[in-house]
């Protein structure tokens, strides 16, 4: 399986706070952002770097910078927006490509309603953001879209994943690594992750 569960104590501590039934909108939103920030640190660990010369206080010295075209982050609306600021805290220059998908509550199939991608997708690494990976339909649809635009280096950042969805994404796109704070037990009959977080979009936006 192409999945990395981030077991860092801070990540696990914060995720557990989010699982509490009484977690308020404000707290849930803050924790989503904090987790996204911590997970970005892990998900960017293999970014390539290059040497370049800078003027240091004592003269010319060699420094390092991230190589290649600036990364694009791809929040999946709505809930993925909750992770965006956490990622931008660490990669302030990132370009933002937005994908709007709504899961049909009966069929559980993703329905596309918005798409605005940045230029030169074929040259940029992409980090897809969505707190929940349930059936995997939304993630596969987003990866399909990015690959159609020429994207070659794609990673997915989620807070909670269901084994069913991980299998679907891994089978459709074995090259895409999924970074998650938790690999949970299963999906219930309504397509919700158990134990999961409940409806992450509703909790972030206060629409529950
Ligand atoms: C949720 C979640 C994912 C999707 C996961 O979004 O944020 O995008 O469902 O389910 P899947 O893996 O079965 O596709 P939802 O459609 O509820 O929209 P929202 O973010 O606007 O709340
Ligand atoms: N979307 C959510 O917000 N939560 C789930 O458990 C599944 C899909």
Report which bound ligand comes closest to the CA of 196: 2
Q: Is the CB of 136 inside a 6 Å radius of any atom of ligand 1? A: yes
Distance 73 CA to ligand 1 centre (A): 17
Task: Provide the residue count of the chain.
Answer: 208
Can you tell me the distance from the alpha carbon of 72 to that of 49, in angstroms, rounded to the nearest whole number? 17
Shortest-distance Cα residue to atom 10 of ligand 1:
134
CATH number at residue 143: 3.40.50.2020
Report which bound ligand comes closest to the CA of 74: 1
* Whether ipTM exceeds 0.90: yes
Q: Residue 40's domain spans which residues?
A: 3-205
Q: Is the CB of 153 inside a 6 Å radius of any atom of ligand 1? A: no
- Residue 46 counted as an annotated binding residue: no
Can you tell me the distance from the alpha carbon of 56 to that of 98, in angstroms, rounded to the nearest whole number? 39
> How many C-alpha atoms does 154 have within 13 Å on its Cβ side?
27
31-62 pLDDT tens trace: 999 999 999 999 999 999 999 999 999 999 99
- Residue 82 counted as an annotated binding residue: no
> What pTM did the predictor assign?
0.97
Compute CA distances 118 → 36, 73, 91, 110, 128, whole Å.
Answer: 21, 10, 16, 22, 14
Are residues 161 and 15 in contact, defined by beta-carbon separation less than 8 angstroms? no
182-202 pLDDT tens trace: 999 999 999 999 999 999 999
Q: What local confidence, expressed as pLDDT, does residue 8 receive?
A: 97
Distance 61 CA to ligand 1 centre (A): 48
Binding pocket residue ranges, ligand 2, CB within 6 Å: 132, 134, 191-193, 196, 199-201
- Residue 142 counted as an annotated binding residue: no
Instruction: Mean pLDDT check: name the lowest of 23-27, 103-107, 192-196.
Output: 103-107
Structural domain count of the chain: 1
Mean pLDDT computed over 63-78? 97
> Which atom in ligand 1 lies closest to the alpha carbon of residue 130?
7
Report which bound ligand comes closest to the CA of 202: 1
- pLDDT tops 90 at residue 81: yes
- Residue 130 counted as an annotated binding residue: yes
Q: What local confidence, expressed as pLDDT, does residue 208 receive?
A: 79
Mean pLDDT computed over 95-119? 96
Q: Is the CB of 129 inside a 6 Å radius of any atom of ligand 1? A: no
Q: What local confidence, expressed as pLDDT, does residue 98 receive?
A: 98
Q: How many CB atoms neighbour CB 184 within 10 A?
A: 20
Mean pLDDT computed over 10-15? 98
Q: Is the CB of 132 inside a 6 Å radius of any atom of ligand 1? A: yes
């Amino acid at each position: 399986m192409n999945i990395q569960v981030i077991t860092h104590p801070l990540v696990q501590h914060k995720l557990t706070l989010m699982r509490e039934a009484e977690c308020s909108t404000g707290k849930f939103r803050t924790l989503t952002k904090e987790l996204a920030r911590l997970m970005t640190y892990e998900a960017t660990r293999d970014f390539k770097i290059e040497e370049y010369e800078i003027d240091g206080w004592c003269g010319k010295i060699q420094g390092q910078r991230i190589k290649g075209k600036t990364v694009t982050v791809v929040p999946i609306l709505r809930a993925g927006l909750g992770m965006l600021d956490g990622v931008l805290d660490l990669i302030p220059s990132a370009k933002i490509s937005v994908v709007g998908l709504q899961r049909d509550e009966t069929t559980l199939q993703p329905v596309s309603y918005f798409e605005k991608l940045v230029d030169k997708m074929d040259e940029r690494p992409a980090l897809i953001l969505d707190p929940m990976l349930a059936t995997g339909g939304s993630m596969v649809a987003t990866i399909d879209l990015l690959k159609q635009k020429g994207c070659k280096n794609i990673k997915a950042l989620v807070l909670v994943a269901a084994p069913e969805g991980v299998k679907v994404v891994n089978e459709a796109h074995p090259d895409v690594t999924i970074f998650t704070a938790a690999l949970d037990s299963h999906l219930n009959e309504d397509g919700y992750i158990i134990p999961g977080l409940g409806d992450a979009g509703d909790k972030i936006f206060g629409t529950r």
